[in-house]
Structure 1
Amino acid sequence: MVVVAPTATPPDEMVAIVRDATAAVGQAVRSAGMLFSTIGVSDDWSVERGLDLLNSFGHFDEVIVGRNWFNSGIMMFISDLEGPPVVPQIVVIRQRKTRSDSRVVPWTHGPIEELARAAGLAEMSNWAAQGFAIEPDGFSADP
Structure 2
Amino acid sequence: MATSYRPDGTLASGGETALIYVGSSQCVWSNAPELVTLVGNLKLELQARARAEQRGFVAVGIARDMVAANGLAHLRKFGAFDEVTSGRSWANIGLLKYIYGDMPGRAATPQVLVVSRTVHAEGGHYGFRDERVLVRVIGLEAIKAWILAGSPLDMNASFLDS
**TM-score, normalization by structure 2:** 0.76
Query: How many residues align structurally?
Result: 133
Shift of 1:50: 0.5
| Whole-angstrom CA distance in 2 between matches of 1:130 and 1:89 | 17
Instruction: Summarize deviations over 1:85-104 as a string: whole Å, max 9, x none.
Output: 1011111101101343xx45
CA RMSD of aligned residues (A): 1.7
Task: State the match for 1:51 in structure 2.
Answer: 72
Task: State the match for 2:52 in structure 1.
Answer: 31
Greater fraction strand: 2
User: 1:1-143 alignment to 2 at 5 Å?
Assistant: 1-8=19-26, 10-80=31-101, 81-100=103-122, 103=123, 105=125, 107-135=126-154
Task: State the match for 1:139 in structure 2.
Answer: none
5+ residue gaps, structure 1, are 137-143
| Whole-angstrom CA distance in 1 between matches of 2:100 and 2:131 | 13
Q: Percent of aligned pairs with the same residue?
A: 25
Q: Secondary structure of the equivalent of 1:110?
A: strand
| Whole-angstrom CA distance in 2 between matches of 1:88 and 1:133 | 18
Deviates more, 1:3-12 or 1:82-91: 3-12
| Whole-angstrom CA distance in 1 between matches of 2:90 and 2:71 | 13
Instruction: Summarize deviations over 1:2-60 as a string: whole Å, max 9, x none.
Output: 11012336111111111111111111111100000111000111111110000000100
**Kindly tell me: are residues 129 and 76 of structure 1, through their superposed partners in 2, closer, same or farther at Cα, counting changes over 3 Å?**
same
**Kindly tell me: are residues 67 and 111 of structure 1, through their superposed partners in 2, closer, same or farther at Cα, counting changes over 3 Å?**
farther
Deviates more, 1:59-68 or 1:76-85: 76-85
| Whole-angstrom CA distance in 2 between matches of 1:83 and 1:7 | 20
| Whole-angstrom CA distance in 1 between matches of 2:127 and 2:38 | 33
**TM-score, normalization by structure 1:** 0.86
Task: State the match for 2:4 in structure 1.
Answer: none
After superposing on structure 2, the runs of 4+ consecutive aligned residues of structure 1 that deviate more than 3 Å are: none
Q: Secondary structure of the equivalent of 2:115?
A: strand
| Whole-angstrom CA distance in 1 between matches of 2:24 and 2:120 | 33
